[in-house]
Structure 1
Amino acid sequence: MSTIPETRYLRGLGRPVSSLGAGCWTIGGAATNRGVPIGWDGVDSARAFDGLLRAHELGVTLYDTADVYGLGHSERLLGRLLAHVPRHEVTVSSKVGYFASAAHPYAAEQMRRQLERTLRHLGIDYLDLYFFHSTDFGEGDQYLARAVKQMRAFVEHGLVRAIGMRAPHTFALEWATGPSHDHRCHEAARFLHLYQKIRPDVLTVRYNLLSPLYAPGETDVFDLAKAQGVAVIIKQALGQGILLGTHHPDHPRTFGRGDHRRQDPTFTPEALREVHRGLSPVRERYGATVPDMARLALRYALARDPTVPVLVGFRDAEQINTTITSLGEPLADDEITWLRRSLAPLRDAFAARTAKHHVR
């Protein structure tokens, strides 16, 4: 049986975890939150649970979910696995801040209710990691101070071991002093403001083959975290599947009302056609199968920092098995250089598309 060959020491939590973790957003299935699609179509609960079992068999010790994934369904599925796994052998992460409720998600009493529900769903008495999932702390950040105080109370009472928050998809420390009308500068300044208030132990950030490269002298999230002694967990290393070739522009999918992809510009036929063309040199050099592309995407992400684990999404045992067993040997430095150079046009096109989306 092929298993994950390495671990990563997660700063901020002070313990080793598997280099690949199970990202449990997908297995929550289709869902809407305040009328907004937030889930994934085509998820069968039995097959999703088989995926969790297979992940554990392959050596996955890091499991990441959220109260809003499937409106609790993801947590309940993960709880079924945890009922048969020694608690000290796994690192369990969940999130708070998006779940629609009568009170604001970051009202202290609502946070307490959500954590109680999360722990009940998971069948455990503490979380290793608890993330601030949203940056919306109400008008004028009226709930920010009390939310941070409540989160720290969770830690003091042993209900949470470490506190996390999301980082922007693109960020450089130096941007924060730029003009506020520039979206990336505004977002960088906002992140730093929240970071200084929350003082997280762990950050999560999207990082993959299409993530931007930074100029010499620019401090990205990984460099900031390293300087601060904060851990990082990488998400969306597979680009939600678009880097695997499973979304072909000639065979566009129709997504249901509970699937977030129906509103994501990344999944329009135009964007998928752009990705398919842009990945051509990579497929020609390394192969076009899902395992071929999964190995490249995961090894590229793992190469960013030797302490940072990477989350892998899945919806069944076949998917988790394919991605994890395809990991293979690390990429050489010259291969990473080649990938960055070859994908520069696609990376720039995606950055432009993202900027255009923000302007709208």
Structure 2
Amino acid sequence: MTTTRRLGRSGIEVSAIGMGCWAIGGPLWAGDQPLGWGEVDDDESIRTIHRALDLGATLFDTSSNYGAGHSERVLGRALQGRRDRAVIATKFGYPTDETTRQATGEDASPAYARQSLEGSLRRLGTDHVDLYQLHVNGLPVPQALELVDTLEGLVTEGKIRAYGWSTDNPASARAFAAAGPHCAAIQHDQSVLRDNAEMFAVCDEFDLASLNRGPLAMGLLTAKYQGTPAPRGGDDVRGVAPEWLPWFTDGVPTAQWAERVARVREVLTADGRTLAQGALGWLLARSPRTLPIPGCRTVAQAEENIGTLAYGPLGAEASAEVERLLADLRTAPANA
């Protein structure tokens, strides 16, 4: 069974399922609006990363603004003595104040791309990042293209191996990929609940990897939310969901999305998988370019997510049944 995939035209081999590191960053705020996943146990986060490595995960996706840099610091600690086993993807574009844990706006300038990378390298304790991603989803294409020369220069200098853009807009992705030979990946919202067929066409056209952001709908596609939980605390973005987060209202799954999960739960779990493993298996079957990066904060979550590889992609009949069940509800991702 194939458990690795290629990171687009970079040629880098990575695990077919990676680990998203937003949640291990801990609190982040924009004024009173939480942007993190609440308090975390750094020691458990490190154990989780080590367990993911032991299970065969090699792709770890973080960002300079997750927990105002805390996610990168924790990942760097966990990879001490293990850096050669990991492919690190990080992002830039959203400055933060590490002291106050406050987001301080947006900066996608070429100068900031370099400045942010230096901070990421320092926090990660490494001399290079494998995939460096523009984080500003809706940045106008002309501004994004101004970054290409700088990013290509960072490749030449050996500070990054490849770059990409975290955007849900296929036209933006196409323009960016066409402009730079070392653009290797697009990170976009993608799950069994929301498909982006146009983005897969772009990835096929330019030989890009599809990094799947939100593959478990921020926990909605897990057993944790099969019932109706009590609202979460005020430091969790799901408890005070901003406009761009549709899955939850005051910590409770939004009715329309909960209904979609209910429709497909039986199909996704029919062969013994958990709900999360079924959702990840659907993504593996969706395209040979997909690289789901589910977030996890505990060893048990890492074991469940990476355990999907033992099952492999969801079967053709099950995938077709999922499409039948959701055909009247398919919604393209919002370009938030």
TM-score (ref. length: structure 1): 0.79
Partner of 1:20: 17
Instruction: Kindly indicate whether the alpha-carbon contact (under 8 Å) linking 1:21 and 1:62 is maintained by their aligned counterparts in 2.
Output: yes
Distance in 2 separating the partners of 1:188 and 1:91: 25
Partner of 2:163: 163
Distance in 2 separating the partners of 1:301 and 1:149: 33
Who wins on radius of gyration, i.e. which is larger? 1
- Structure 1 residue 325 displacement after superposition: 2.1
Instruction: Kindly indicate whether the alpha-carbon contact (under 8 Å) linking 1:34 and 1:100 is maintained by their aligned counterparts in 2.
Output: no
Partner of 2:94: 98
Cα deviations by residue, 1:204-258 (Å, 9 ceiling, x for unpaired): 12221112375xxxxx212222122222222221111101142356323234245
Q: Does 1:306 align with 2:288?
A: yes
Partner of 1:46: 43
Question: 252-261 or 234-243, which moves further after superposition?
Answer: 252-261
Partner of 1:267: 248
Distance in 2 separating the partners of 1:260 and 1:195: 32
Partner of 2:303: 321
For 1:254, what is the secondary structure of its paired residue? coil
Counterparts of residues 259-298 of structure 1 (less than 5 Å): 259=237, 262=240, 263=242, 264-268=245-249, 272-285=254-267, 287=269, 292-298=274-280
Distance 1:326 1:233, change over 3 A: closer
Query: Which of residues 181, 196, 204 is equivalent to 2:187?
Result: 204
Structure 1: tracts of 5 or more residues without a match: 169-186, 215-219
For 1:342, what is the secondary structure of its paired residue? helix
Supply the AA of the counterpart residue of 1:128.
D
Supply the AA of the counterpart residue of 1:333.
A
Query: How many correspondences in the alignment?
Result: 324
- Identity in percent: 28
Which structure has greater helix proportion?
A: 1
Partner of 1:337: 320
Instruction: Kindly indicate whether the alpha-carbon contact (under 8 Å) linking 1:209 and 1:237 is maintained by their aligned counterparts in 2.
Output: yes
Partner of 1:55: 52
Instruction: Kindly indicate whether the alpha-carbon contact (under 8 Å) linking 1:11 and 1:307 is maintained by their aligned counterparts in 2.
Output: yes
Distance in 2 separating the partners of 1:331 and 1:48: 29
Query: Which of residues 221, 231, 243 is equivalent to 2:221?
Result: 243
Query: Which of residues 97, 111, 114 is equivalent to 1:112?
Result: 114
- Structure 1 residue 329 displacement after superposition: 4.3
TM-score (ref. length: structure 2): 0.84
Structure 2: tracts of 5 or more residues without a match: 98-103
